[in-house]
Structure 1
Amino acid sequence: MTTGKAGQAGEQAGNRLEHFPITFFAIVMGIMGLSLACHAGTVLWPGLARASEAAMWLGIAIFLAIAAIYALKILRHPGAVAAEWQHPVKLAFFPTVSISLLLMATALLPHHPGAARTIWWLGGAGQAVLTLAVVSGWIGHRPFQVGHLTPAWFIPAVGNVIVPVAGVPLGYAELSWLFFSAGLVFWGVLLTLVMNRLVFHDPVPARLFPTLVILIAPPAVAFLAYVQLAGGLDAFARILFYAACVFAALVAVQVPQLARLSFALSFWALSFPVAAFSIAAFRYGALADSDAHGWIGAAALALLGGLVAGLLARTGRAIGRGEICRPE
């Protein structure tokens, strides 16, 4: 009897491992985003430095745990990993691994610059490989349909424009311009495709509707990268920041619909874009000497803190109930 129960438990664990999704890395993006937003918020409240560092170490710990589990999945269930790679929606989430490393490097830079440099190189190399692989997959011979297109497809572009945020302080300006250019061009192309899909085709399925918030991330992160590369605020930087504001307003209108949805891992798509917008507002406020923009950043940071706390609680509850890591 005991052996039977043990065997059944082992089988259940194996099934959960097989269905452990790549989208788990979006959790790391959200928590590292919180760390960076708290660090940006120290311009108003220096005490946030401790919260920033705590979130950074939590994000690193979660990254290592998720990476270890997913590496085990690669070893034991390579077919399931291949199926995720072939999936028209999940494919775009693979760069969340390299993005997590780039965010980790950015958060570590003020504390451990040597480690940050190494992790930045790992993240940048991974981002280059995954961008080429994902985009090659998109333009290959897969039977993609309009319904497969969601704002999650922005993720590879966002990863490229994150590179300069730490790349410029580390001394890699030309390489940062390369990644920034690639990310900006792909964002423009994908924005046209995504807006066409949202306006002229069926609504995004409820399970993926939270990915709509990703619309905020590309211009917000591009603003942060551009002011690093250009060395300050200019007309193009303002265009990028206010584009993020427009998308934030569009997303805010969708909040009532978001509130009615059942929880899924895709809800973590809410966290990083809000973090990016908060950091961008703090940065704009500092560069333009505008208290109003600083308080916009503070409001977004307060929202982000509540979001991450709620998402961690909901994720833990869903894992405990076996609602995650199961066949879709």
Structure 2
Amino acid sequence: MRQDPVQRVAFWRRTPPAVFPPLMGLFGLALAWRRASEAFDRLGWVSDLLLGAVTLLFLGALAAYAAKAMRRPGAVIEDLRVLPGRLGLAALSMSVMLLAAGLVPFAPGAARVVLVCGLGLHGMLAALVIYVLVASPPEGRMVTPAWHLTFVGFIVAPLAAVPLGLPGVAWAAFYGTLPVAALIFAVSAVQFATRPPPAPLRPLLAIHLAPMALFGTAGVLLGLTGVALAFCAGAAVLFVALVVWNVPLRAAGFSPLWGAFTFPLAAFAGLLLLLSPVAAPFRVTGGVLLVLATLLLPWIAAKVLQMWAKGALAVKTNSAVA
């Protein structure tokens, strides 16, 4: 049952998955500020403050969506049939893993439990998406940048697994998702060369930056500095391309899909700051990018949350109603 714009239903019954990508971006911003506090040896309180605030927002949104799913489980499948729903639910489970990374310095035991829950949730989501794609018509199976979040999203796990002393989990995530990401990149490049996406879908191109940054981050954490530098170079090329192409990216005006800008920017800033011991320019560039992310990400998140509060987000993203 899809939401009727004039139908009055309980707020939680129409919780749209599109609320989660900007929240994931805020988690990434909090973790990037943690990297900054390590790189500059100051301002550690900024990361803690951001992490606390976004955790409260995320738990509230998670509780609302969980209530919706429990009332009518079929609503989850309906949400996965539309692109904003698949993007949002992947961001939900990735956010659980990011929360685990945030909890590591404060409660390692809880972080382990949260990480396992996040991995399990993301695995179930990937299985459901495969089920939905198999049952979809050919045009519904087209590869999009959102596939990175669904099928490569496990690469977030090393951020928590390595400091928790779980290198096996980190290596499995790294090597298990690397060929999948390469395949998605290859198919996406061919698609972009032959048929560029329409204006409303162009913000999704920013998602390509996220796996590059995350593989680089995992490389640093796993001691693969050369690999990390290679991924950082690839991320830098993608970032410059996105900056150069920023006017076409924003051609359709603000939409909930702008949430796709948030996490990739934060993840790239975090990678640069993590590489600061290698060379001073990484610290300076990462700091500048972090300032930019701090100005942009909360603004996008606030706009999306405002749309959710007014009930417009569910309508614009064709979210299911429980």
TM-score by length of 1: 0.87
What residue is the counterpart of 1:209 in the other structure?
202
SS of the residue aligned with 2:314? coil
What residue is the counterpart of 1:192 in the other structure?
186
Q: How far apart in 1 are the matches of 2:64 and 2:257?
A: 19
Select the residue among 104, 107, 110 that pairs with 2:105: 110
What residue is the counterpart of 2:148 in the other structure?
154
Select the residue among 20, 25, 30 that pairs with 1:30: 25
| Structure 1 residues 28-79: Cα deviation after superposition (integer angstroms, max 9, x where no partner) | 2111101001011113444431111111111111111111111222133444
Farther-moved stretch of structure 1 (62-71 vs 72-81): 72-81
Change in Cα spacing, 1:213 to 1:273, as seen in structure 2 (3 Å) is same
What residue is the counterpart of 1:182 in the other structure?
176
Change in Cα spacing, 1:93 to 1:195, as seen in structure 2 (3 Å) is farther
Contact map agreement 1:105 1:120 (CA 8 A) in 2: yes
1:308 pairs with 2:297: yes
Change in Cα spacing, 1:147 to 1:269, as seen in structure 2 (3 Å) is same
Contact map agreement 1:281 1:293 (CA 8 A) in 2: yes
Select the residue among 143, 150, 172 that pairs with 2:166: 172
Q: How far apart in 2 are the matches of 1:79 and 1:131?
A: 16
Read off the aligned partner of 1:34 and give its amino acid letter: L
SS of the residue aligned with 1:95? helix
Contact map agreement 1:93 1:155 (CA 8 A) in 2: no
| Structure 1 residues 263-322: Cα deviation after superposition (integer angstroms, max 9, x where no partner) | 222111111000110011111222x1x111111111110111011221133224434554
Change in Cα spacing, 1:295 to 1:185, as seen in structure 2 (3 Å) is same
**Structure of greater relative contact order (alpha carbons < 8 Å, 6+ residues apart):** 2
Farther-moved stretch of structure 1 (317-326 vs 56-65): 317-326
Select the residue among 258, 272, 283 that pairs with 1:281: 272
Q: How far apart in 1 are the matches of 2:298 and 2:172?
A: 36
Read off the aligned partner of 1:162 and give its amino acid letter: V
Contact map agreement 1:89 1:150 (CA 8 A) in 2: no
Contact map agreement 2:77 2:132 (CA 8 A) in 1: no
Contact map agreement 1:220 1:276 (CA 8 A) in 2: yes
Contact map agreement 1:146 1:197 (CA 8 A) in 2: no
TM-score by length of 2: 0.88
Read off the aligned partner of 1:261 and give its amino acid letter: A
How many pairs does the alignment contain?
A: 313
Select the residue among 208, 217, 221 that pairs with 1:224: 217
The CA deviation at 1:137 is: 4.3
The CA deviation at 1:151 is: 1.1
1:267 pairs with 2:289: no
| Structure 1 residues 85-141: Cα deviation after superposition (integer angstroms, max 9, x where no partner) | 233563344222221011011111112212211111111222233234434544x24
Contact map agreement 1:271 1:308 (CA 8 A) in 2: yes
Question: Over alpha carbons, which structure has the higher Rg?
Answer: 1
What residue is the counterpart of 1:5 in the other structure?
none
Change in Cα spacing, 1:128 to 1:312, as seen in structure 2 (3 Å) is closer
Read off the aligned partner of 2:20 and give its amino acid letter: F
SS of the residue aligned with 2:313? coil
Alignment RMSD: 2.4
The CA deviation at 1:204 is: 2.1
The CA deviation at 1:324 is: 1.6
Q: How far apart in 1 are the matches of 2:81 and 2:312?
A: 23
Q: How far apart in 2 are the matches of 1:316 and 1:83?
A: 22
Q: How far apart in 2 are the matches of 1:251 and 1:146?
A: 26
Read off the aligned partner of 2:205 and give its amino acid letter: L
Change in Cα spacing, 1:180 to 1:238, as seen in structure 2 (3 Å) is same
Contact map agreement 2:86 2:150 (CA 8 A) in 1: no
Change in Cα spacing, 1:137 to 1:321, as seen in structure 2 (3 Å) is closer
The CA deviation at 1:254 is: 1.9
Contact map agreement 2:96 2:114 (CA 8 A) in 1: yes
Farther-moved stretch of structure 1 (31-40 vs 314-323): 314-323
Match runs of 1:124-163 below 5 Å: 124-135=119-130, 137-138=132-133, 140-145=134-139, 148-163=142-157
